Amino acid sequence: MKELVSKCNRTQCDFIVITGDIIDCKVKFIKEKLQLLNNLEQKTYYISGNHDLFYGFKELKEVLTNLICLDNSYEILKIKNQNIAIAGLSDRFSKFFKIKREEKKVVEFLKSCENSILLAHQPKDYTFALRCNAKLFLCGHTHGGQIFPFHYVVKLFQPFLNGIIYKNQTAIYVNRGLGCWGVDFRYKADNEISLLKLIPKEVK
């Protein structure tokens, strides 16, 4: 965690996003490690993933005091004289934890914005990004398949595995994440911190 935070702080960027599944156990067991994320110097947004909900999203939010939770909410970023709307959806499993998922509110807000970014944990939520004409959709969940050939199993449940995909006017980026699920091992699915450069349309 210290290396992760240090690497992010050494990287020139305007903001950071974490697209869910920060935890894979109860917060009380790793509280001190999670608190290290509060040392991120850039403005950092995060949303819930299914594992966060299962192990205690309320407790996670209480620890991440320096980060901004974007579940079912939005903000306007001003970057180089450009207004960029950024919004997030809570994970698709929210309803099982009696958490309201405000899809309509988020979509309607982003529809009114010229430049927008939507965050959601699972790639299959890209349909909401298309519905609101978001320029960029950021997600995770898949671990890039984590261990080949399980890539093919993941593809049965998710439309995209990793990397960048374009649909209509929306760029979709599926991050492979940093950690592991189940076993502490990856094969043909390296972990990653992604650095994305947003380029105004007129200078492409």
Confidence of residue 46 (pLDDT cuts 50, 70, 90): very high
CA distance 125 to 20: 13
Q: What is the mean pLDDT of the chain?
A: 92
CA 18 to centroid of chain Cα atoms: 4
Confidence of residue 143 (pLDDT cuts 50, 70, 90): confident
Q: Per-residue pLDDT tens for 50-85? A: 999 999 999 999 999 999 999 999 999 998 888 999
Q: What is the rounded radius of gyration, in angstroms, for the C-alpha atoms of the chain?
A: 16
Greatest CA separation for the chain: 49
CA distance 77 to 179: 29
The pLDDT score that the predictor gives to residue 182 is 76
The pLDDT score that the predictor gives to residue 203 is 52
CA distance 5 to 138: 20
139 pLDDT above the threshold of 90? yes
The pLDDT score that the predictor gives to residue 53 is 97
The pLDDT score that the predictor gives to residue 198 is 86
44 pLDDT above the threshold of 60? yes
- What are the counts of helices (DSSP H) followed by strands (DSSP E) for the chain? 7, 9
Q: Per-residue pLDDT tens for 112-128? A: 999 999 999 999 999 99
The pLDDT score that the predictor gives to residue 57 is 96
As a whole-number percent, the residues of the chain with pLDDT over 70 amount to 97
17's enclosing H/E stretch is: strand 15-18
C-alpha pair distances (Å), 101 with each of 95, 163, 190, 199: 7, 26, 31, 31
Mean pLDDT of 129-157: 88
